[in-house]
Amino acid sequence: MNFPRIAMAAVAAWIAAMGVGYLINDFVLADIYAVNQAAMRPEADLNARLPVGFGFLLVGYFAFAYAYAKGYEAGNGVMEGVRFGVLVAILVSCFGYIWEWVVFPINPTMAAVLIVDSIFEYALYGAIVGAIYRPLDKATPKPAAM
């Protein structure tokens, strides 16, 4: 497993997620969030928590890139990444977004939009990870264990 490439892929996906997330959440989905404002934190509270969220997002992308590398099947990296991202989106949606709709007072439209957005975004981040990650060359000897 190529840990430097995992780290590069994780950081690249994290940077992309912050930019894409800003565009989608602050512009594309702004009207849907406004309709569901009663279920949201006030903006000042949200902004105060963003650094923690960004930090855990980075940890999540390290796990995402590591899981991708563990399952890498030596095919087209970008397409493998897209498939991996869609699978992750299905997991996140079934374990998370649906339950947010069950527990929190968001409308079904918001839940559906979050699921569709999740599939798009995780496919994109999977493509990024797949484009960057490369396994170690089998001919390269591994360092001896101490």
Q: Model confidence over 121-146: pLDDT tens digits?
A: 999 999 999 999 999 986 555 566 66
- Residue 144 falls inside a structural domain: no
Instruction: Summarize pLDDT for 41-67 with one digit per residue, the tens.
Output: 999 999 999 999 999 999 999 999 999
Q: Is residue 104 part of a domain?
A: yes
Residue 137: per-residue pLDDT? 82
Domain span at residue 39? Answer: 3-132
Cα→Cα distances 83→25, 63, 68, 72, 90, Å: 24, 16, 10, 11, 11
Q: Give the Å distances, CA to CA, from 96 to 89, 91, 100, 131.
A: 10, 8, 6, 27
Question: Domain for residue 21, yes or no?
Answer: yes
137 inside domain: no
Please check the confidence at residue 90 and state whether its pLDDT lies above 80: yes
Rounded CA separation 145/126 (Å): 32
pLDDT at 97 over 80: yes
C-beta separation of 115 from 97 below 8 A: yes
Q: Is residue 139 part of a domain?
A: no
In a domain, 145, yes or no: no
CA-based nearest residue to 37, from 117, 115, 105, 116? 105
Alpha-carbon gap, residue 32 to 109, rounded angstroms: 8
Does residue 49 lie within any of the structural domains? Answer: yes
Count: domains in the chain: 1
- Composition of the chain by helix, strand, coil, percent to 5: 80, 0, 20
**Structural domain includes residue 54:** yes
